[in-house]
Amino acid sequence: MSQPPIHAPIPELYVSYESAQKLKVEAGELPSWDLTARQVCDLELLMNGGFNPLKGFMSEEDYNGVVDNMRLSDGALWPMPINLDVSEKFAEGVEEGQDIALRDQEGVILAILSITDKWVPNKSHEAEKVFGADDLAHPAVNYLHNQAGPVYLGGPITGIQPPVHYDFKGRRDTPNELRAYFRKMGWRKVVAFQTRNPLHRAHQELTFRAAKEAQANLLIHPVVGMTKPGDVDHFTRVRCYEAVLDKYPQSTTTMSLLNLAMRMAGPREAVWHGLIRKNHGCTHIIVGRDHAGPGKNSAGEDFYGPYDAQDLFRANQADIGIEMVDFKHMVYVQERAQYEPNDEIEDRDNVTILNISGTELRRRLREGLEIPEWFSFPEVVNELRRTSPPRAKQGFTVFFTGLSGSGKSTIANALMVKLMEMGGRPVTLLDGDVVRKHLSSELGFSKEHRDLNIERIGYVASEITKNGGIAICAPIAPYTATRRSVREMIEAFGAFVEIHVATSLEECEKRDRKGLYKLAREGKIKEFTGISDPYEAPTNAELVVDTKDVDVDHCAHQVILKLESMGLIKG
């Protein structure tokens, strides 16, 4: 059997332009699902062949095989469940054997899904198998339990049009566009570099070495779909990549953006990245230390060992169909003024080894400290400084949570006055009662409505933070998951400082300024926090204050000291 020509096109799921125009009209009559940001990323890679051999969202049989042993029902290797998760309400209205239209956030129809399977997955089992632990500290496990819909749909996809991207259009390539480029350039070997962080000098050294080792051309292939909450936004990252591209030889290096929603699944993610890069025409992929690791678990330990991803990749390399270039940790040797693999430095006792971790880099940016030239390129540092100025110049949110009557509003008001006295940034107080009047007048006090109210507060606070102001919020906010989603919303733009006003229930009930506890005890107020509805106390708030026998001024001053120690206000 003759080999297919190198970089031959791979199958896509799109229909012809003529059929698409016709289908678009017909699909207007179908029930439609509005895709989430993550689902849009998944759908795009299904349609353009990035997720080949998948022909759509997985059937229940494929899903079970993938979760349990990384295999589709036909035996093909695939490590990541790709399903359309929907709400119970939507699922009730659709049946197997039915077509539905899939729309983007603006309502444009991107594809038709022919439903073959509908089921309720065991998400804890999925978390254990795919991510290694059912632990909410993992961003994808948190997504699975707190954001993804409870029902999965599976079935083949008919692609009508790709999602629209208004940014960096010229840098986005489908697998077939990249394959055509490699064909045209005569590149037979291509090594992919997967990244979700800005590139510094160590990465450049690592990519140069990898290309040399594999005697291959280099594809810098950063993820611009979804990465880990708190990562540098992709606009900044792409500007950083563009600043560094000049440092690479143009004839042997190219860059393309990948609209992938990462799961941060470590070992399985590495295998998945390999399959995706093979579909894009690459022959090699760089897998580094702790590839796609999400950081620490609830016990404060790393989710995955530093080389687990390399081990799993190596074990499945033949089935992935692409070679791994494994990389050790690169560090800077001052005396030789160069980067070297950490475990190959024989004279390590006689030389000075320098290294700056991601955490240390963020600290230096936050505090406006020097970032040495041996570590990164001045152009990259300039870009990063533009988007993350020192903390004392950024917006931030102070979020008080505690029982009704604990003293949240009183301390929040005192804090607001103290911050306004200092000046420098506009201050907005989003107090529970004020918000209920202006933002949430139509909401009741059911769990769903409370969550909605807190998410609205979080949204407004994130906008204030993004624009360099200070937001002070003082809702009860009884639920952990909702506070976490607000934290993630805000930490994309600045600091989130959670203050748990830990005044005890009996103290709050003793005060009962508004007479609410009395009514709740009499059963006249349903779902009252602390009486008939739970309050989930924060376990890792930035500050805990108790207002019993302490004056308000002292509590507000404790908050000011905390903000100073975090570098958010100048002492």
Residue by residue, DSSP assigns 438-503 as HT-TT--SSHHHHHHHHHHHHHHHHHHHHTT-EEEEE-----HHHHHHHHHHHHTTSEEEEEEE--
Tell whether 97 is in a known binding site.
Answer: no
* 404 annotated to bind ligand: yes
* Other C-beta atoms lying within 10 Å of the C-beta of residue 95: 9
Q: Tokens standing for 215?
A: 């005697």
298 is in an annotated binding site: no
Residues 265 and 257: beta-carbon distance below 8 Å: no
Q: Rounded to an integer, what distance in angstroms lies between the CA atom of residue 410 and that of residue 433?
A: 12
Active site residues per annotation: 195-197
Single out the residue of 297, 270, 350 nearest to residue 134, CA to CA.
297
According to DSSP, the residues that pair with 287 across neighbouring strands are 326
CA distance 520 to 393: 44
Q: Which residue has the tokens 């950081």?
A: 295
Quick one: which of 302, 287, 7 has its CA closest to 138?
A: 302
Q: Please tell me the distance from the alpha carbon of residue 254 to that of residue 322, in angstroms, as a whole number.
A: 19
- 403 assigned binding-site residue: yes
Q: Which helix (H) or strand (E) holds 516?
A: helix 516-521
Q: For tokens 């791979």, what's the residue?
A: 10
CA 14 to CA 17: how far, in whole Å? 9
Residue 395 assigned ligand-binding role: no
Please tell me whether 46 is known to bind a ligand. no
Q: Are 255 and 219 spatial neighbours (Cβ–Cβ below 8 Å)?
A: yes
Query: What residue numbers does the annotated binding site cover?
Result: 402-409
Query: What residue numbers does the annotated binding site for ATP cover?
Result: 402-409
